Amino acid sequence: MKNKLEEIRKRHNITQNDLVDILDVSRQTISSIENGRYNPSLELAFKIARHFNLTIEDIFIFEDDKV
């Protein structure tokens, strides 16, 4: 799954460390999500989307290999 988290975070002038504090997760979690090495839980995806006042689909791009 791809995502636009880094782009959105930077557009809002929020550092990774700011997002860590806001979401109460580790910096490694944010970095891994942004680099596509980790897919967040549904709960975390909702928290991220709500923080930026966006939908999950605005941030995360699901790519179905079966289509």
Return the HEC string of 5-41. Answer: HHHHHHHCCCCHHHHHHHHCCCHHHHHHHHCCCCCCC
Question: Is 26 a residue whose pLDDT tops 80?
Answer: yes
How would you class 45 by CB atoms within 10 Å of its CB: exposed for 0-12, middle for 13-18, buried for 19 or more?
buried
Task: State residue 8's pLDDT score.
Answer: 98
pLDDT for the residue numbered 63 = 82
Superfamily classification of domain 2-60: lambda repressor-like DNA-binding domains (1.10.260.40)
Both structure tokens of 30? 């944010």
The pLDDT of 22-51, averaged and rounded, is: 97
Q: Quick check: pTM over 0.75?
A: yes
Q: Where are the domains of the chain?
A: 2-60
Task: Give me Rg for the CA atoms of the chain.
Answer: 11
